[in-house]
Chain A
Amino acid sequence: MSEYWEHWARALSDPLMQRALAVALLVGAAAPVIGTFLVQRRLALLGDGIGHVALTGVALGWLIGAGLGLAPGALAIPGAVVASVVGAVVIEVVRASGRTSGDLALALMFYGGIAGGAALIKVAGGTSATLVAYLFGSLATLSAADVVTTVALAALILAAALAGRWALFAAGADEPFARACGIPTRLWNVVGAALAALTVTLAMRVVGLLLVSALMIVPVAITQLGARSFSRTMASAALVGALAGASGLFVAYWYDLPPGATIVVLAIAVYAVAALAKPVVDKLRSATP
């Protein structure tokens, strides 16, 4: 028994582990809040498209940083923020104008983003290995400054999402009706896309750009199975996301696995169990008056 607790104590006394835990908890809670709005609008894959564009932003950041003689990668995160926000707003405008269908616009972003990133990083003097940390996350190498950035960005995203939640909900639930209420739905859809882009760059450090959407979507997929309202779905998805982030991190620490992938596999396993258990639970619920 005492050996078990020593295990925990050792893990928690490691400063790297402390930082990783703080970031995993915070990002795990914030990402599904934005994800709930994406799932509501049936844009579950938007985060993936933005993630691919963010890769071009990372490479552009490297390139500009190298040109300015800064430390390698100093501008990678700002580059990702700018590229993903621009990409998200462009895709929303293209979608709203109806000129290109949503899935074609997403496909163009996916391929353009990855190809642009891989080509530019070479120009910037990096290698494709440089990109791997961004593609799969780098939770194990967080600095204290990274933690501060993450806290600030997560607080901004959560505050904006909570302040705008009724308008975002209304625009997503029934857009023509919302417009007839005088709600500027196009503006709110763009705000939603920009928040999704910020979330992508926030979650990039935890699970990496290839898995970023999973952190936004899978907790929502789990909780919409049983929730009876939008606000409950969102609140419980934030809780599930934080728990998945923390428990995935510990499992990865003890079994020496990549933390980002472990968090996502764990969350999907929970979804599978919940989806299988749902018919049984529903039957029991309807049997008891």
Chain B
Amino acid sequence: MKIVIDSITKDFGSFDDPGSIFRAVDAVSLEVRDGDLVTLLGPSGCGKTTLLRMLAGFEDPTSGNIFFGERRMNDVAPNKRNATMVFQSYAIFPHLDVRDNIAFGLKLKELSKKEIRERTERVVELVGLEGLEERQPSQLSGGQQQRVALARAVVMEPSVLLFDEPLSNLDAKLREQMRIDIRKLQQRLGITSIYVTHDQIEAMSISDRVVVMNRGRIEQMGSPRELYARPVNRFVASFIGKAAFLPAEKDAAGAWTLLGKPWRPEAGEELTAGAYEAMIRPEAVRLSPLEDSGRNAIAGTVLRATYLGSVMEYEVELPGTEPVTVHIPNPFERDPLPPGAEAELRFLPEGLHFLPAEA
């Protein structure tokens, strides 16, 4: 089912006291294709959860429209939306066992006993809860509770699945496993899904498309690859992955300077003259001892070298700007540069991206 969000705004606060009004979601428009999983990603307070709750019907938009398919949903009660949700706190009914939790919605639909049993059993198997059907919620681990919450939503065969930071209460290992399981399940069932998270790795690994939100607005929407390689601004660039931003300028003749020195970036030919910020990802930098050979190399001083196993992470200080983070793969191949060492940096053209300079 296609979802269309058309210029949705949500204000909180008392209308009797205009000073107290807070705009949580600000004229957001968005289209989700049938069967896609779209993530709403952003820092806390960016409006992502409010947007999700409006889709579920728990909040009422101040203005704008929500469509599931062709149907306008604004005035449809939450219990009539067929958009089931996996809650951050799981919201397992504490007085019901696992089976009754999962069958809760089916029983409300007054389906036949046989159908309820069959569908419940199928989902129990699908999420891997076999043998735990009789357990009380208090006897379940966090991961198992998470699976009950997922099963309870999926068993309804909803037209839309909503996820509200479902993995934020799990430990790192389990989170990774659940991420994979949720994605597999979603693709297998082909249910259009909206997934809220503040974890960029989670967003990138699970989504068809990611919507980056900040202060109630959409900053950028795109595939994980687009967002990482071609962020539209500094907020998106630094929210998804690490990056350094170096002042660069292109003159009318097409010549570049970086940090005030002549530079040939091997990228950005299409850009007009003006001031830019060159966004540099840590893995797109090559670092070598200072030899004063390449004209395109930028000289700097190693501040810190940290061995992270899969990479060696350097902080390199450049004159007149913030330090640059550099990731050098295969750290066992050579000796690290010690702190204080003079070094030169080269930027790989594939990892370079120019943003208009921010005032």
State yes or no: do A and B come from one complex. no
